[in-house]
Amino acid sequence: MGEFRFFRPTELKELLDFKAREGSRARILDGGSNVLVYINEGSIAGGTLVDVKSLDAIKGIAERDGRLEIGAGELIADVIDSELIKKKAPFLREALQKFANPLVRNMATLAGNIADSSPIGDTIPPLLVLEAEVVTASANGERVIALEEFFTGPGQNVLEEQEVICKVRFPLPAGGKGGHVKLGLRRGTSCSVASVAVWAVADKNTVKDIRIALGGVAPTALRARKSEAAFKGQSLDWDRIEELSQRVMEEISPITDVRASAEYRKKVCPALLAKAVRQALGMEE
């Protein structure tokens, strides 16, 4: 294990000034559910652990200008328990209830899961179909990044060394309903083999608009734009959903790892997508 220092800023400016000086050697520590694992395995060799758990500037869940904003310091458990999220974004709440287990949900943050930038990050597909944005800050000012443009590869993103995530936000849905399906090796606590999120606006079963996102089947979580185009305008029944869901195989490029083979992921993704679409349309299983 490398040598580490510890720093606890009391205000956002102090944090941003420190990041401007230290860059990537300043490791943000809030929930710590991933950072501490990386330290133990040696993939983070040293630097300064920056404790932001008490930083009020990155706390809070609020509705502003037609958007829901979630502070980077909010724990997954706090997002789930938020009355505002329950009322305004029940789809996100339901998806987050599948994240890891209660112990991890009481440690991990939404922003931390995004910053980790894993292709199997459980929070990312639901946020993608909600068209979320990441709001970052540095000593040079604020930046707003569409979540779809945030990830560049496994564990990689566009966040600059001096930047920190301050909040995640998304527009309040004007209509529609979501569906989310996660496939793991064990129920509840496991990392995803693959996951699918859908947001659909429909008139009865005719799709007026649809957004589809997948995790665990490409170098980054992705929006399945071709599949979205195939579903739009379609009048759907069970068989048509099954048929159109096959299109998703044209957009994914899964790998074989310890959780599943590429072939298995390709095989199950259409079924996961079909299930998520049926959820979004309110069709009985």
CA distances (Å), origin 192, targets 14, 62, 121: 37, 29, 8
Query: What is the pLDDT at residue 41?
Result: 74
Query: What is the pLDDT at residue 176?
Result: 97
The rounded distance, in Å, linking the Cα atoms of 112 and 53 is: 12
In this structure, the strands spanning 141-146 and 133-138 are antiparallel
Query: What is the pLDDT at residue 29?
Result: 87
Q: Which of 155, 160, 135 is CA-nearest to residue 72?
A: 135
Structural domains in the chain, sorted by start: 4-51 (3.30.43), 56-171 (3.30.465.10), 177-281 (3.30.390.50)
Strand partners, 159: none
Diameter of the chain measured on Cα atoms: 60
Query: CB–CB of 154/119 below 8 Å?
Result: yes
Phi and psi of 75, rounded to 5°?
A: -70, 155
In DSSP notation, 127-147 reads HHHTT-EEEEEETTEEEEEEG
* pLDDT tens over the chain, length 285 residues: 568 899 999 999 999 999 999 999 999 987 766 776 777 777 777 889 999 999 999 999 999 999 999 999 999 999 999 999 999 999 999 999 999 889 999 999 999 999 999 999 999 999 999 999 999 999 999 999 999 999 999 999 999 999 999 999 999 998 999 999 999 865 545 678 999 999 999 998 999 999 999 999 999 999 999 999 999 999 999 999 999 999 999 999 999 998 899 999 999 999 999 999 999 999 966
Q: How many CA atoms lie within 13 A of 33 on its CB side?
A: 22
Query: What is the pLDDT at residue 279?
Result: 97
Q: Can you tell me which residue has the tokens 């001096």? A: 162
Q: Can you tell me which residue has the tokens 């090796």? A: 185
Distance of CA 16 to the CA centre of its chain: 24
